[in-house]
Amino acid sequence: ARFNKPDAEIVDHYTYCILGDGCQMEGIAQEACSLAGHWGLGKLIALYDDNHISIDGDTAIAFTESVDLRFEALGWHVIWVKNGNTGYDEIRAAIKEAQSVKDKPTLIKVTTTIGFGSPNKSNSYSVHGSALGSKEVEATRQNLGWPYEPFHVPEEVKKHWSRHTPEGASLEAEWTSKFAEYEKKYPTEAAEFKSIITGELPAGWEKALPTYTPETPGDATRNLSQQCLNALAKVLPGLLGGSADLASSNMTLLKMFGDFQKDTPEERNVRFGVREHGMGAICNGIALHSPGLIPYCATFFVFTDYMRGAMRISALSESGVIYVMTHDSIGLGEDGPTHQPIEHLASFRAMPNILMLRPADGNETAGSYKVAVENRKTPSILALSRQKLPNLPGTSIEGVAKGGYTISDNSSGNKPDVILIGTGSELEIAAKAGDELRKEGKSVRVVSFVSWELFEQQSDEYKESVLPADVTARVSIEAGSTFGWHKIVGSKGKAIGIDKFGASAPAGIIYKEYGITAEAVIEAAKSVC
């Protein structure tokens, strides 16, 4: 929709997937397939291996609905191939029919026998998750009339498949020639397309990120996030995304674009509806499709519980999705404990290959986006505030890339008496506590610890320069679980946080009730100095 022209079609591929009975039972399939039908994804073709067997036995014990009717209700075109074991021509014909349906995705239900050819184990759950065994393999070979040794590829099979090699080379050469002509006629579109398919970001893209000073009026980091997204959308042709029915609260709308819909597929605001799990999985697919596609998706931070499976797949599959997670703490206030994340920061810090970022103000929000865009093989989570936060002296875009860095220090090159460490909305509290302690004659270093993972990537020398080993007087403050913080503050330091569920109250009141205050930091600092 964005790049094809009446005289030049350069994007013409289909997307195929294979799924089974278990996939059909999972809720994520309903979420994703509902959206596919709504969007009319005519180039999506799913082949359903309809063998009626899952690990516990025949699917009749738990799964008896009409999949055909369900998919038709979801807006899919449905084809049934009744002989999936040997009906190769039927399958070929079904795929051709699916390709001809332009306005709907297609489900090809292919009825098969699991373990086809095995005389003793076919059509049973015993062949679902276990190898046949040497005796049954031999029996199956005899039953199928397969005379060849294990792993031998017969010459006629090799010849049949090898014909695709020159065909593929010819098709690629044809496309390359077509794109060369396209590039001459449509240089702007061609440059954007090349950026998307190669992953090479436009030169100087990061200069589009906004910067802030302490004089800039304070704002919620969710609002600052929207400023960053809209700035980046102008310079990153592959940036697109949306929210799980919370765009106006997550602040994720790209104001210069419309909604990605069936009739407007060239637009870049994706309306996922209340489908967090499907949203995360779809963004994984977008990120893995082309290295220059940069998908973001959003919901409240606590609702990562609904999409954690997809987020873990992001980490496992090196899919650089940007997760924009707002309402990041008890600071969201009146929505109460069901909506207030407590253990979530700690849980994602425990997950391999994912960046957990909690920016404190405008510069740190911009820095978090710079990190997220640059890390195409590592997903990023931006935990953003609902409440307004000041733009603090000493924060920087560059500092975020280090994970942890000093924003203020009055020790004049000497060892500070105490190090105060904060993240997100609590960095302001640490900074206020530092100012008060300095009035009492203490030398205080205040450190922003926006990302544990990025800090761990730094050299030992850098880490020592921020958190000297011989300064054991350390206090951390974060409106979340203290789990893991003693790794940072040490056995002699103190971690201020929340190790129980929150409550319903305005942010200021609940912070005071739960001891997330500058006074608590000052008291803790004096106790460890």
Is 327 a known ligand-binding residue? Answer: yes
474, 490 Cβ separation under 8 angstroms:
yes
Is residue 128 a known part of a binding site?
A: yes
Task: Tell me which residue of 245, 247, 235 sits closest to 294, measured CA to CA.
Answer: 235
Annotated ligand binding at 290? The verdict is: no
For residues 197 and 225, give the distance between their C-alpha atoms in angstroms, rounded to a whole number: 26
Could you tell me which residues come within 8 angstroms of residue 218 by beta carbon, excluding any fewer than 6 positions away?
A: 361, 388, 389, 390, 391
The b/e string for 469-498 (b: 16+ C-beta within 10 A; e otherwise) is eebebbbbbbbbbbbbbeebbbeebbbbbb
CB distance 364 to 393 below 8 Å: no
Q: Is 249 among the annotated ligand-binding positions?
A: yes
**385 and 341 in contact (C-beta within 8 Å)?**
no
Task: Count the neighbouring beta carbons within 10 Å of the beta carbon of residue 129.
Answer: 8
> According to the annotation, is 222 in a ligand binding site?
yes
386 is in an annotated binding site: yes
Residues 290, 317: contact at Cβ < 8 Å? no
Give percent helix, percent strand, percent coil of the chain, each to the nearest 5: 45, 15, 40
267 flagged as catalytic: no
Out of 31, 136, 192, 276, pick the active-site residue: 276
Contact 117, 140 (CB under 8 A): yes
22 marked ligand binding residue: yes
- CA nearest neighbour of 383 among 359, 414, 399, 410: 359
Q: Is 79 annotated as a binding residue?
A: no
Helices (H), 219-318: 221-233, 247-250, 276-289, 304-316
Establish whether 335 is an annotated binding residue: yes
Identity of the amino acid at 85: N
Distance CA 378, CA 503 (A): 34
Single-letter amino acid, residue 27: G
Q: Tell me how crowded residue 7 is: count the other CB atoms within 10 A of its CB.
A: 9
CA dist 87 and 107 (Å) reads 17
Q: Tell me the Ramachandran region of residue 42: left when phi exceeds 0, alpha when psi lies from -120 to 50, beta otherwise.
A: alpha
CA distance 128 to 149: 24
Q: List, as residue ranges, the binding site for thiamine diphosphate.
A: 22, 51, 128, 303
Q: Which residues are catalytic?
A: 276
Q: List, as residue ranges, the binding site for substrate.
A: 128, 222, 249, 327, 335, 339, 386
Q: List, as residue ranges, the binding site.
A: 21-22, 51, 53, 128, 222, 249, 303, 327, 335, 339, 386
